[in-house]
A and B are shown apart, each in its own frame.
Chain A
Amino acid sequence: MRKGQYRFVAGFLFVPVALYVIFVIWPYIQTFGYSLTDWKGQSQTFDFVGLDNYRALFQDDVFLKAIWHNILFLVFIPVITILLALFFAFMLNVGGRSRAGGVQGVAGSKFYKIVYFFPQVLSLAILAVLFNAVYRSDGGGLLNGFLIKIGLVDADSPVEWLNEPSMVLWALMLVVVWHGVGFYLVLFSAAMQSVPRDIYEAALIDGAGRTQSFLRITLPLLWDSVQTAWVYLGIVAMDMFVLVSSMTQNMGAYGGGPDHHSDVMSTVMMRNFLYYGKSGYACAMGVVMLLLTLILSVVTLRATRRERIEF
């Protein structure tokens, strides 16, 4: 490098790094600091309590349950979303019946692509309103209304979708998957379009069916995109705050019901932080969330690491 170039580069790097340190790293450090105190959230007087908050955390049934709910989301949301998105993307791009000398999507694929993307333009808040109407617990709900009409559900005892411990997590998961599939479909489509057609054509000539060309060609060549999607969806699964707090039965504040069956770490944290006034304790939860998210990212990146295929 030429003389002076380092300074030039450093100049450009400094501002973003400084912003990052002030607005991301410093709050993390502060949170850690507060997590060692009995801060109550509405003033700056507090005492240092060492690791008491962390000790209490591992005996807090509600928080431990919430971790499990996040883990459940973590397992199912990425898997279901990615599989569906991959399937649809494959069908839209190369899944069509092969006519002479061409590889193409199913009929009307352009139309589908736009339709699938629709949910993604809705904000989470609108999504919550929408699905509250779908899951509404009396005959006025979309699902209940339909099921009552076709006689599957008794009008006197409609299904309380979000008030059933065994159903509430799945009901929430459906919202996230419905919301996410369109975006990842477009992501995967873009990646698929960069795969040279001649590879598919060669496979076709060799007699590969849809399944084989998907598993042997598409998936390996899309691995980078899948990995990215996995990390993003993992972060979504670790959060879930908006949907849980605005859709589920209220447990004091920030949803989480029935009986904490849908509580996730972020809702428990906010409830403790503001509603119970146990802010130092909530900061300890925040630190645990940070650690779990870090571990998750590292594990995901390691576990999905593969040889890169050049094409």
Chain B
Amino acid sequence: MGSTAHHGAEGVGRRDLIKRSAALGLVAVPGMGLMSACASGGDSGNSDGGDTKGKTSKDNPFGAKKGSKLDVVVFKGGYGDDYAKAWEADFGKKLGITSTHTGTQEITGKLQPRFNAGNPPDIVDDSGAQQIKVDVLYKNGQLLDLAEVLDAPSVDDPAKKVRDTLIPGTLDPGMQEGKVVALNYIYTVWGLWYSGKLFKEKGWEEPKTWDDFLAVCKDAKSQGIGGLAHQGKYPYYINVAIMDLIAKKGGLDAMKAIDNLDPKAFVGSDAAQAAVEAVYEVVEKGYLMPGTNGLTHTESQTRWNQYKAAFITCGSWLENEQLKQTPTDFDMKFLPMPVLSGSKLPFEAIRAGSGEPFIIPAKAGNLPAAKEFMRRMLSKEWSTLFAKQANSLTILKDGVDPGVQLRPGTQSTVEASKAAGDNTFRYLYTEWYSEMGTAIEAASNELMAKRIQPKEWLKRCQAAVDKQAKDPASKKNHRD
């Protein structure tokens, strides 16, 4: 390299290079035109109403055409993708539509080029760490408004609309600017988890108040067991605890204040202050499982399975995720977040809602079949298929045949949901504002590591909210 540095021709070469790069700069401007040309050429994949439209009938309200093809892409994560294969087989049998199945973790890598080129799949389970964020897809005009599917007659009872057979509120997280564009199919509850066996052994009671919770943590610590474990490498999880406490203490108004970017969502909110101080007390008193702040989800959940901590924060996918690591007599149990004194919501209230967004791309090649597929997902038959294959509940009301035996953790979530009744809540800011969510997670990470105090945490979260509120696009999201 250096050995040619004194070569006579080198100087000329450099000057040439500069001239050429200037020329390249000129090319860049018409290049822009070329790119937009690509953009307008990208619609060729859309053939809605073309050769994929068959006859409509009572059993087939969208006119899915026999012999056409359906392109299904499914996130193959904690729930696997066997359930989708079972659906596709049934779809093929009943409607004569064959599916191409893709089970993958790389949703973004596989689909971003296809969305950009205008030939997306027909139906997608857009989940996992590499999901394409729904707000991002929506802003790009890539999502079909699912109202048509939801207003279609239900498979099980044609007198009812599909939307009336679902657990109330489960469609909300899939809303963007008032339209349902993602069907969050799996019914999830969030909160704390413990081992029934460990609790029986130690004689601990299920804590209903925060003071009782701290008492269990204290006793655990004195016996060399961590109190609370969380999946520190992903601060998302500790936010389950903090945000649940805020919602329970301050009621739904405190939650909506955050989602609606209220200027007093954090600073000036008594609920937020009480909640973050309560969680910080756990940190200060040393009740965290040692090292939990830096562990990944699998590392810390496995530690908890080894009885190294009394509690862990998580959603109800936990049981399926830890199937292999959980000892057979572990007796996994769900616990609603214990309440602070003077809380507006009762102990039984839980963060519950739907997850695992299924979407239909607006430019899908076989729209009628995709809509029919989604309609059938919300039938009792397919919902039971799912519960059997993936150990989880769906958003369909009473969607599982009573004959299906559930695992202990899942069973305890069913009971908790029943006890909660209408007392459920669900934050939406994580779906609406990725950047603000990240800022809050970053602050929580600092709080758990004792690098900032609750006061500073409140300030940082408020700053994130205020910053988001300045974005004109966020005016369109609002919940009442």
A→B interface (CB under 8 Å): 25, 29-30, 32-34, 36, 40-45, 48, 132, 135-141, 144, 155-158, 160-165, 223-224, 227-228, 231, 249-253, 257-260, 271, 274-277, 301, 304-306, 308
Contacts and interface: CB of A to CB of B under 8 A. Distances in A.
Interface of B: 1-3, 5-6, 24, 27-28, 31-32, 35-36, 38-40, 42, 108, 112, 115-116, 118, 129, 132-133, 135-137, 139-142, 232-236, 286, 289-296, 299, 303, 434-435, 437-438, 441-443, 445-446, 449, 451
Given A29-B27, A41-B136, A136-B295, A257 B38 contact: no
B445 A275 contact: no
Given A30-B35, A139-B290, A249 B140 contact: no
Given A29-B31, A138-B291, A156 B286 contact: yes
B458 to A, nearest CB: 16
Majority SS of interface residues in chain B?
A: helix
A224 B1 contact: yes
Contact of A138 (B2, B35, B303): B303
Contacts of B137: 42
A296 B45 CA distance: 44
B306 to A, nearest CB: 10
Contacts of A32: 28
Given A42-B140, A157-B290, A249-B445, 15 more contacts: A33-B28, A48-B32, A135-B294, A136-B291, A136-B295, A160-B232, A224-B3, A249-B232, A249-B233, A250-B234, A257-B445, A271-B438, A276-B136, A277-B135, A277-B434
Contacts of B129: 253
Contacts of A137: 232, 291-295
Contacts of A305: 2, 5
Nearest to B40: A44
B438 to A, nearest CB: 3
Interface centre among B3, B129, B291, B443 (most CB of A within 10 A): B291
Contacts of B286: 156-157
Contact of A274 (B108, B437, B449): B108
Majority SS of interface residues in chain A?
A: loop
Contacts of A231: 1
B116 A44 contact: yes
Contacts of B6: 308
Given A224-B3, A257-B442, A275-B133, A44 B28 contact: no
Contacts of B294: 135-138, 160-163, 249
Nearest to B108: A274
Contacts of B116: 42-44
A160 B291 contact: yes
A160 B289 CA distance: 13
Contacts of B136: 40-42, 274, 276-277
Which are the 8 A-B pairs with shortest beta-carbon distances?
A137-B294, A138-B291, A44-B39, A277-B136, A252-B438, A43-B140, A42-B140, A160-B294
Given A137-B295, A257-B445, A42 B112 contact: yes
A158 B226 CA distance: 13
Given A160-B293, A259-B445, A304 B28 contact: no
A40 B471 CA distance: 15
A259 B27 contact: no
21 contacts: A29-B31, A34-B35, A40-B136, A44-B116, A45-B39, A136-B299, A137-B232, A138-B291, A138-B303, A163-B445, A224-B2, A249-B233, A250-B233, A252-B441, A253-B129, A259-B445, A276-B435, A276-B438, A301-B1, A305-B5, A306-B2
A43 B115 contact: yes
A274 to B, nearest CB: 6
Nearest to A28: B24
A152 to B, nearest CB: 15
Nearest to A274: B108
Contacts of A224: 1-3
Contacts of A30: 31, 35
Interface centre among B42, B235, B434, B442 (most CB of A within 10 A): B442
Nearest to A277: B136
Contacts of A36: 32
Contacts of A41: 112, 136, 140
Contacts of A140: 299, 303
Contacts of B108: 274
Nearest to A135: B294
Contacts of A275: 133, 434, 438
A258 B295 contact: no
Nearest to B29: A33
A135 B294 CA distance: 9
Nearest to A154: B290
B176 to A, nearest CB: 12
